[in-house]
């Protein structure tokens, strides 16, 4: 290099000389794409390997709905017997829908999200499934009860006692 060029900042425009850069992920800070240069830590669909340490400057973040899925899963278990099991059924379904979306995000970009948030997501999913099953059993029990004893027996205990006395 001449003395004039030593103090100048190198031109980072893509040209024929630097278009064939080595693909070394440890030393590579910039990656060329059709629009020019892109920060290596940004998501790139052409890069089959995620950046080292996550995509946001080495920081991993929690899955966006992991805590919500866990809370909804637990609430679906707790409320499985409330209002004929309908509340637990709704909460469990919502938790499963949210967990599906987050699981797809995690599997697409594992290095961007923390493992603990993925474990919370799985725990919430398991709770939601358990809550769904218990709510379905409670709802089925209420339907069978209404079929055998009538709808009046669901709301009136005296009518239920009368029906049970007649059965004896």
Give the pLDDT band of residue 35 (cuts 50, 70, 90): low
Enter the DSSP assignment of 76. Answer: H
Q: What is the pTM of this model?
A: 0.61
List, for residues 101-159, the tens digit of each pLDDT value.
999 988 888 888 889 999 999 999 999 999 999 999 999 998 888 887 777 777 778 87
Q: Are 88 and 142 in contact (CB under 8 A)?
A: no
> Average pLDDT, whole number, for the chain?
77
Cα–Cα distances (Å) from 165 to 11, 39, 97, 160, 161, in that order, read 94, 78, 46, 9, 6
Task: Give the start-to-end residue ranges of the domains of the chain.
Answer: 66-167
């Amino acid at each position: 290099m001449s003395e004039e060029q030593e103090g100048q900042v190198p031109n980072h425009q893509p040209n024929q000389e630097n278009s064939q850069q080595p693909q070394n992920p440890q030393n590579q800070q910039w990656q060329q794409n059709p629009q020019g240069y892109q920060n290596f830590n940004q998501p790139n669909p052409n890069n089959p390997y995620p950046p080292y340490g996550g995509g946001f400057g080495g920081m991993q973040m929690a899955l966006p709905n992991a805590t919500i899925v866990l809370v909804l899963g637990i609430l679906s278990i707790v409320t499985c017997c409330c209002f004929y099991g309908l509340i637990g059924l709704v909460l469990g379904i919502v938790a499963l829908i949210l967990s599906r979306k987050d699981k797809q995000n995690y599997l697409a970009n594992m290095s961007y999200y923390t493992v603990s948030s993925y474990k919370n997501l799985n725990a919430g999913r398991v709770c939601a499934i358990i809550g769904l099953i218990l709510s379905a059993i409670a709802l089925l029990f209420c339907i069978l009860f209404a079929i055998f004893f009538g709808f009046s027996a669901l709301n009136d205990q005296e009518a239920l006692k009368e029906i049970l006395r007649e059965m004896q």
